[in-house]
Structure 1
Amino acid sequence: MTSNDDGQTRDKDLHGPESQRGRTRGESRRRIIRRIGFGVLGFVIAVGGAGALLAHQVSSVRSQLVYAMDLAPQLRADVESEDHRAAEIILETIQEQTSAARSTATGPLWKAASYIPVLGSNFSAVREVAVSANDITIRAVAPLLDRYGSLNLQTLSPTDGRFNIAEIQEAAPSISTAANTVQLSYQRLASLDLSRLLPEVAQPVSEATEQLEKLTEILDTASSTSQLLPAMLGADGPRNYLVLVQNSSEARATGGIPGALVILHTDDGRVSLGEHTSAVALGAFRPTLEVDSEQVALFTGRLGTQMQNVNLTPHFPTAAQTATLMWEERHPDQKIDGVLALDPVVLSHLLEATGPLDLTDVQVLAQIRTTGLPSSLTKDNVVPTLLSEVYKEIDDPEAQDAYFAAVAGRVFSAFTEGQGDGTQLAKALGTSIKENRLYLWSSHPSEQSIVASTPLQGSVTGRDAGGTAFGVYFNDGTGAKMDYYASRTVQLVKSCQAGEYSQYTVRVTVTNNAPNDAGTTLPAYVTGEGVFGVEPGRIRTNYVVYGPSQAFVETATVDGQSVPISSGRHGQRPVGTVPLELGPGETSTIEMLFSGVVQNSEPLLRVTPTIQPSKEVIGPLERDTCG
């Protein structure tokens, strides 16, 4: 009984309420586990599928962008060869590829991938590249190609001395749209943090950003030019422009002494040359014309006494305004609408496009008959002729400047008459602007505000002087034409940073390449005959160095020896000046130290243009080795 009772009791225990609850809990746990298992399996399958799909999308986007980029050179070739239909076909293909890449890279899966830790930033970067590529193709390249006829450089070149203003005006909106689109795309890519990207992503993004930066500069200049040209070419009435032909044999901060002067007339697109004369012929101005006192403190009152000295300051707007006042005082019946400055190297660039030119000026031809000066100008002989040979053959300074002005006028005539290839002429002007050999100022405030946004402005204060900007400018102290024999190199050296501020040393190395017997064999007008206290054959130059805004100029040395430094400020920029005199064959190095540089951007260095190629003058940034 007992055992049966015990068995029944145990059986009751096994099938009672408590046992039922336990079995229910166990089955629930098993069901939950099964569900979790199936869920995990489903998640793994989904992730695997998404991963495979994402990998496919990455491959597709990469292929589409690479294919589009590979077609770009062909598009450029078709445009340059004027095969408009072929260019349209290539552009359609590029649009298809970039649109497909954009669609994928902005899709939900790609967006989700951009949130993946570590790798997500790479997906975001590629998305920005795809969007930028598509924007540029549709909103920049396509509108420009639609305006192809108006934008053709041959069409934009003058014909019989006249520019087609209407075509320039029609093209302006397309150029402006393209410039804005590229600018926004550049800003989008420039804002990416490359340090967070994989190398295989960071490198092409960096390269694309650099290319967009260059394209931005080109299109911004083109946009500004298309806005300026109609009015400047006389669309709203006749204009007069004063052209300063800067003589690089006697250095001035913006390039050279403005010895030759030419008046340029424009009216309804037609361009013609007016009076050409010399700065000497204008004489001295008494009383001295009023010039900005801050610049007078740096460069003396000579800025307002003679046309030859208006560009002792590197700030071209000041030089141009002063030159305008001087011309209008001597010619009260003639209003100047703007000032253009260039040097003989610009003329050589233009002659490369136009080809050789025969001189036609009656007075110049008379001089040629009695001298050894060439009767035909080429890209190779124009610089030595104007900066050296003319002084050996012509004694009278006014006659020298007249020859100079006549040569410049002949080159201008060829340009305005449309002689030469339009593409080559545009390239010549672009090279001249890039080398800071071409400056422009307008007396019309609305136009000057546009000029101020271009590389033509020649300003040392304001927007272009922001950041870590340095400038090294040369002003002749010999009172002669000896700079033809000077060669210079300029370099920045960044010191190890201490705290929040940086230090930079500006290093200028100068050589006098004149022959040893220059004092006796070179013409007196070239050596100066010691009139200004410089022994014939020697070169004396004042080196004016600008540092970044709010920095300080500390010390200066010549060949390692401390020298006195004349210092001041222009705007918020520190300015130091050191004179240097060298005999034939001598070389010296000036070093000027700037402290308290708060800017941390890549440094920008501007230097007075000379007859040397700019790439030979400006050296690479050097950094001191930190221990």
Structure 2
Amino acid sequence: MAEPRAKSARSVKRWIFYGLAFVVLAPLLWLGVRAFVAYDALINAQADVGSAKEAIASNSLIALPAIYDDMNDETSLAVSMTSDPVWLGAEHIPVLGPNLTAVREVASTIRGVVVDGVGPVAGEAGDFSLASMRPEHGRIDLDRIESLIPAVDSASAALSAAEKSANDIDTSQTLPPVTHAIEAFRAQLAGAVTSAESAKRVMLMIPVALGSDEPRNYLVVLADNAQDRGNSGAPSSVALVTVDDGSLRVVRSVPTSALHATGPSGVAATPGETEIYGPSVAHSPNAASATPDYPLAAAAMAQSWQQTFHNRVDGVLTVDSTGLEFLVGATGKVELANGATITGSNTAELLQNEKLASGKLAALQSDALERVLGRIIDGAGTTPGYVRAAGQLVNEKRVLLWGARAREQKFIAGSPIAGVLSTDNSAVTTYGVFFTEADGNRLSTSLATSVDLLPTACNPSSGAKSSLKISLSSARSSGTIVEDVVVYSPVRFTATSHQVVGGRVVDFAKSSIDKRTVQRFRIEVPAKGTVILTVRLAEGADSASAISEVRTTSRWTVTPLTIAPCS
């Protein structure tokens, strides 16, 4: 009988072992399954965020409520998977516990963003689209825009709270993969908070800018690409648009030659700007437009208008003739007073017709500007067409904006349509190469340009930190083209030397503007000839960012820019 008792004892021990193993392993298995489900839910929620961004970019805001429902389900599941008693108890286990706590807190934080941030916006966005921002029969519905403000404010507050919660998550004892994931999550939240704050400021500013508090007066300037000028082309026509509680009206459109200054200049130019561009840069819109400092040019335009027509000016928007063509592509063809028709493919060419006498061309440009603005205000065209045109305008830098009020201008200054150069090299090292037609013959469309930025290793013998190689090629069969090339060094860089091949410099000026070395070369480009200007620069006191960019004039055709990678 001893052997059966021994077997029975072994069987009991085996079951005790199995029982203990189950007691130990079952919770771990349970945790593993729940962690996997929570992870999968969070990944799906992240994909839904991408879908939300896509919906906004493609003008499908009506899809946001359905996307929010998915995000709501996924984050709710993630929270439930990481907050049951087994999970909470396991958070006290050495090594494993701090990681479980961190994952639970991440899930809870994301859940808060979805419920308090995305939810209110999705609730308001169901019947809202970019079409709601367009004028219809001369008016933009400000009530619809203002109805979104509380939701955007809630989203901004939710993201700020989430950022604080994420920063409070203790990662001192978490494993490296968990730590890195949380650091990435914090970085994403920081970017989202900045974007939300920006969106909040925009939503608050739009109704005011559209005359919710008081009527506003805005100038819309047409820049002629047949004459290179600083950021864009020479200002040829200007229209006054009034906005009162969302209602828009074109008051008048005139050639810029109709403007004149009747009083002292209230616009300040630096001594360097005066030295490079001449004494009239502070009060002549045409002279001021030669600078890449759009606020200076816009303020000079506003002052000239105010002194001519005695209207207060609240802001200035400039679009060049190529940009106007993009807008006509959105509105549909526009019939002009002289019987001509402009379309999304012929506007720029027609408005730069060098065969027309200057007076007739100025009248044609002024009429085209007024009629295109009228079509936009009346609601002509399609929303996708305007979205496409806006993308082209911004990407090719064919639209610039300035606000007369300091608060609004401060916001504009951080945007890609501000027309200003960076004040330091911390984020990006910015070089500037700007073209201005110097002889007034409107021959810029006959000039092809290109700019190459060559790092120092490309010129090891020069001792310079970088070189700019600027090419100008004339398509004219006779005569010369006289063009000013103005080179702005990065902040605190110095110019070491320059060389011209294929043409000659007939005038040269050098000064300092906003801690940048600025050189103006007036160059004669012979018929069918190519001139190569090379400017060598040395790094100064401010260390340069590893990221470099070249800003240049938005010309008739886009200037090819090359930033050469040198080892």
Q: Same fold (TM over 0.5)?
A: yes
The answer for the alignment partner of 2:8 in structure 1 is none
The answer for the alignment partner of 1:545 in structure 2 is 488
Mapped pair 1:344 → 2:321: yes
The answer for the alignment partner of 2:347 in structure 1 is 382
Question: What count of residue pairs does the alignment treat as equivalent?
Answer: 531
- 1:541 deviation in Å? 2.7
1:322 and 1:273 map into 2 onto residues whose CA distance is 21
Q: Partner amino acid for 2:277?
A: F
- 1:57 deviation in Å? 5.7
Distance 1:415 1:301, change over 3 A: same
Equivalent of residue 320 in structure 1, options 298, 314, 320: 298
* Conserved? CA contact 2:468–2:536, under 8 Å: yes
The answer for the alignment partner of 2:7 in structure 1 is none
* Conserved? CA contact 1:285–1:306, under 8 Å: no
Distance 1:358 1:133, change over 3 A: farther
Q: Partner amino acid for 1:383?
A: A
Distance 1:566 1:189, change over 3 A: farther
2:323 and 2:182 map into 1 onto residues whose CA distance is 36
Give the 3-state SS of the residue equivalent to 2:236 in structure 1.
Answer: strand
* Conserved? CA contact 2:503–2:524, under 8 Å: no
Give the 3-state SS of the residue equivalent to 2:227 in structure 1.
Answer: coil
* Conserved? CA contact 1:221–1:454, under 8 Å: no
RMSD after superposition: 4.7
Aligned residue runs from structure 1 range 57-68, under 5 A:
59-68=36-45
2:91 and 2:470 map into 1 onto residues whose CA distance is 55
* Conserved? CA contact 1:461–1:571, under 8 Å: no
The answer for the alignment partner of 1:311 in structure 2 is 289
Q: Partner amino acid for 1:555?
A: S
Distance 1:201 1:296, change over 3 A: same
Aligned residue runs from structure 1 range 148-163, under 5 A:
148=125, 151-163=128-140
* Conserved? CA contact 1:259–1:401, under 8 Å: yes
Distance 1:74 1:279, change over 3 A: closer
The answer for the alignment partner of 1:233 in structure 2 is 210
The answer for the alignment partner of 1:452 in structure 2 is 413
Mapped pair 1:470 → 2:415: no
- 1:446 deviation in Å? 3.2
Q: Partner amino acid for 2:344?
A: K
Mapped pair 1:391 → 2:354: yes
- 1:188 deviation in Å? 11
Give the 3-state SS of the residue equivalent to 2:229 in structure 1.
Answer: coil
Mapped pair 1:610 → 2:545: no
Q: Partner amino acid for 1:171?
A: L
The answer for the alignment partner of 1:301 in structure 2 is 279
- 1:504 deviation in Å? 4.8
TM-score of the aligned structures, taking structure 1 as reference length = 0.70
* Conserved? CA contact 1:248–1:256, under 8 Å: yes
- 1:273 deviation in Å? 1.0
* Deviation sequence 1:215-240 (CA, Å, 0-9, x none): 88876665444322222222223222
Say which structure is richer in strand: 2
Say which structure is richer in helix: 1
2:335 and 2:312 map into 1 onto residues whose CA distance is 32
The answer for the alignment partner of 1:13 in structure 2 is none
Equivalent of residue 485 in structure 1, options 440, 443, 446: 446
2:238 and 2:64 map into 1 onto residues whose CA distance is 44
- 1:183 deviation in Å? 8.5
Mapped pair 1:147 → 2:105: no
Q: Partner amino acid for 1:469?
A: T
The answer for the alignment partner of 2:13 in structure 1 is none
Distance 1:556 1:67, change over 3 A: same
Give the 3-state SS of the residue equivalent to 1:256 in structure 2.
Answer: strand
* Conserved? CA contact 2:223–2:234, under 8 Å: yes
The answer for the alignment partner of 2:11 in structure 1 is none
* Deviation sequence 1:580-600 (CA, Å, 0-9, x none): 443325252534324124143
Aligned residue runs from structure 1 range 31-110, under 5 A:
56=33, 59-71=36-48, 84=62, 87-101=64-78
- 1:137 deviation in Å? 3.6
2:282 and 2:214 map into 1 onto residues whose CA distance is 31
The answer for the alignment partner of 1:15 in structure 2 is none
- 1:255 deviation in Å? 0.7
Identity %: 20
The answer for the alignment partner of 2:17 in structure 1 is none
2:289 and 2:394 map into 1 onto residues whose CA distance is 18
The answer for the alignment partner of 1:595 in structure 2 is 539
Q: Partner amino acid for 2:537?
A: L
- 1:49 deviation in Å? 7.7
- 1:404 deviation in Å? 1.0
Equivalent of residue 433 in structure 1, options 394, 397, 415: 394
2:371 and 2:335 map into 1 onto residues whose CA distance is 8
Give the 3-state SS of the residue equivalent to 2:226 in structure 1.
Answer: coil
Q: Partner amino acid for 2:511?
A: G
1:566 and 1:48 map into 2 onto residues whose CA distance is 81
- Which one has a bigger Cα radius of gyration? 1
- 1:52 deviation in Å? 5.9
The answer for the alignment partner of 2:269 in structure 1 is 292
Equivalent of residue 403 in structure 2, options 419, 436, 442: 442
The answer for the alignment partner of 2:234 in structure 1 is 257
Distance 1:608 1:83, change over 3 A: closer
Give the 3-state SS of the residue equivalent to 1:555 in structure 2.
Answer: strand
Give the 3-state SS of the residue equivalent to 1:142 in structure 2.
Answer: helix
Residues 310-319 or 176-185, more deviating: 176-185
The answer for the alignment partner of 1:527 in structure 2 is none
* Conserved? CA contact 2:426–2:544, under 8 Å: no
Equivalent of residue 582 in structure 1, options 519, 525, 528: 525
1:285 and 1:114 map into 2 onto residues whose CA distance is 80
* Deviation sequence 1:458-508 (CA, Å, 0-9, x none): 2235589965333332222232222223333334444479xxxx9752534
2:156 and 2:438 map into 1 onto residues whose CA distance is 44
Equivalent of residue 555 in structure 1, options 489, 497, 513: 497
The answer for the alignment partner of 1:8 in structure 2 is none
- 1:422 deviation in Å? 2.5
* Conserved? CA contact 1:547–1:575, under 8 Å: no
1:113 and 1:480 map into 2 onto residues whose CA distance is 81
* Conserved? CA contact 2:79–2:108, under 8 Å: yes
Give the 3-state SS of the residue equivalent to 1:263 in structure 2.
Answer: strand
1:81 and 1:317 map into 2 onto residues whose CA distance is 31
Distance 1:503 1:135, change over 3 A: farther
Equivalent of residue 330 in structure 1, options 294, 308, 312: 308
Distance 1:541 1:67, change over 3 A: same
Distance 1:211 1:426, change over 3 A: farther
* Deviation sequence 1:416-457 (CA, Å, 0-9, x none): 111112343244224423433222222223333333343333
1:110 and 1:464 map into 2 onto residues whose CA distance is 50
Residues 596-605 or 294-303, more deviating: 596-605
Q: Which structure 2 residue ranges, 5 or more long, are not aligned?
A: 1-19, 168-173
Give the 3-state SS of the residue equivalent to 2:221 in structure 1.
Answer: strand
1:601 and 1:553 map into 2 onto residues whose CA distance is 20
Give the 3-state SS of the residue equivalent to 1:312 in structure 2.
Answer: coil
Mapped pair 1:507 → 2:442: no
* Conserved? CA contact 1:232–1:239, under 8 Å: yes
* Conserved? CA contact 2:315–2:401, under 8 Å: yes
Distance 1:382 1:542, change over 3 A: same
2:464 and 2:185 map into 1 onto residues whose CA distance is 30
The answer for the alignment partner of 2:514 in structure 1 is 571
2:410 and 2:557 map into 1 onto residues whose CA distance is 31
TM-score of the aligned structures, taking structure 2 as reference length = 0.77
Distance 1:127 1:554, change over 3 A: farther
* Deviation sequence 1:58-83 (CA, Å, 0-9, x none): 64344223323444566577776869
